[in-house]
Amino acid sequence: MAHMSNPLFRTIGLIAKHNDVAVAATLTRLRDDLQGRDIRMLLDESAASYFPQPTDPVASRDMLARECDLVIVVGGDGTMLNAARSMAGAEVPVLGVNLGRLGFLADVSPLEMCERLNEILAGHYAEEQRSLLHAEVWRQDQMIADNDALNDVVIHKWDIARMVELEACIDGRFLYALRADGLIVSTPTGSTAYALSGGGPIIDPALAAVVLVPICPHTLSNRPIVVSDQVVVEILVRGSEDNKAQITWDGQVNLTLATGDRIRISRKAQNLRLLHPLHHDHFEVMRKKLRWAEQP
């Protein structure tokens, strides 16, 4: 849906990919452009590291989430995933500027950045709501970890030679016992990431769904399954003590699991507000990223 009235993004936060030469030029141009406007800027530590003496305040992620009307992320989809997890709870809109490689999430190119920024700051943009997952790890009766994921929560084997043994339940109803290299529980956003290479379907981001994709299952009839995102997915880690497993949120946060651990996965209450230029076309991005219908 398009917004035509000026929402006046008065405070804008900048988050950047760490230690990347390509970031510096784009970030400097972006900051110069914003400094020419009546806008307060807050720099995440990742963005501040590119400026020897930053004149703008350096802010924690909590402060960015609390005070920003918009956060602009300069980097790829990985940087976007990281930023999304910290901004979604406060429902701060996020805009992604890529580094010359189109992303599923970071879709504004550096070449068009200033032009698109003019439009967006004038209120001409499209906003999309993306769902996240919240996953808790329970050991005995204690929650030992919890985190959000925009792409996926993955339970996977720890060493190369063994499979993990898992049991999956949906809303308390037994789904299956699984012996596999792991299990991917993915949002529609994550359906074009790891879940896709595991043989999962591409899910339109507008759908309220979660997909469970077994990784190299022992039983070949264990297929990906798409369920409503209103359910609670529970996964029990089975098998012997030395059969170690790990849980990973968005491929970025890890924890070693023990036999008997339970993972509770449900949809996060808040969505990510993702901003795009006005004529953004998700299918066009998909065609380009997945190289569909290219002439050989």
Task: Give CA–CA dist 191/276, Å, rounded.
Answer: 20
Q: Which amino acid is at 173?
A: R
Close Cβ partners of 286 (under 8 Å, ≥ 6 residues apart): 104, 192, 202, 292
The DSSP line for 250-270 is TTTEEEEE-TT-EEEEEE-SS
- Between the two ends of the chain, the Cα-to-Cα distance in Å is 36
Residue recorded with tokens 């307060």: 40
Q: What is the CA radius of gyration of the chain?
A: 20
Close Cβ partners of 215 (under 8 Å, ≥ 6 residues apart): 154, 156, 180, 181, 182, 183, 184, 198
Catalytic residue list contains 38: no
CB 135 within 8 A of CB 263: yes
* Active-site option among 32, 62, 69, 77: 77
Q: Which two tokens stand for residue 273?
A: 């507000």
Q: Kind and range of the H or E element at 286?
A: helix 282-290
* Antiparallel, parallel or unpaired: β 272-277 and 125-130: antiparallel
- Cβ-count burial 258-271 (b if 16+ within 10 Å, e if not): eeebbbbbbbbebb
Strands in 233-238's sheet, in edge-to-edge order, are 142-149, 133-139, 262-267, 233-238, 164-170, 173-180
Close Cβ partners of 7 (under 8 Å, ≥ 6 residues apart): 69, 123
Give the residue numbers annotated as catalytic, written as ranges. 77
